[in-house]
């Protein structure tokens, strides 16, 4: 009886390994880096961004340490570390 249970368990376990791998695909809206677009460049200050592009539609943050803030404009989003631009992105399709 014990050997039958053991064979049954082994067959179940081996069946699990023979099953094809199934993975879910997560689709995330992509964004593209915009180094050549008319967006704030890395190293610019918040004041420089305000002077050139005006007041953002929304200011979010600061969050964390170092403090990260991002400003949302109609055509792009600017990420700051403290007072300096880290990165600007243009949402896909803009």
38-77 pLDDT tens trace: 999 999 999 999 999 999 999 999 999 999 999 999 999 9
Which tens digits make up the pLDDT trace of 74-89? 999 999 999 999 999 9
All residues at 6 or more sequence positions from 50 whose CB lies less than 8 Å from its CB, including other chains = none
Section 4-17 average pLDDT? 54
Give the closest residue to 42 by CA, choosing from 89, 79, 78, 85. 85
Host domain of residue 79: 2-91
Phi and psi torsions of 11, nearest 5°: -65, -35
CA gap 40, 43 in Å, rounded: 9
Q: Which helix (H) or strand (E) holds 60?
A: strand 58-63
Domain tally, the chain: 1
Cα–Cα nearest to 85, from 74, 30, 76, 93:
76
Q: How do residues 34-43 score in pLDDT, each as one tens digit? A: 445 699 999 9
Rounded Cα distance between 16 and 52, Å, is 60
């Amino acid at each position: 009886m014990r050997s039958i249970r053991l064979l049954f368990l082994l067959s179940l376990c081996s069946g699990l390994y023979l099953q094809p791998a199934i993975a879910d695909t997560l689709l995330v809206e992509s964004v593209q880096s915009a180094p050549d677009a008319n967006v704030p460049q890395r190293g610019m200050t918040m004041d420089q961004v305000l002077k050139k592009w005006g007041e953002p539609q929304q200011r979010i943050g600061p969050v964390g340490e170092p403090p990260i803030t991002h400003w949302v404009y109609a055509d792009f989003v600017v990420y700051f570390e403290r007072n300096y631009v880290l990165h600007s992105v243009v949402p896909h399709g803009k």
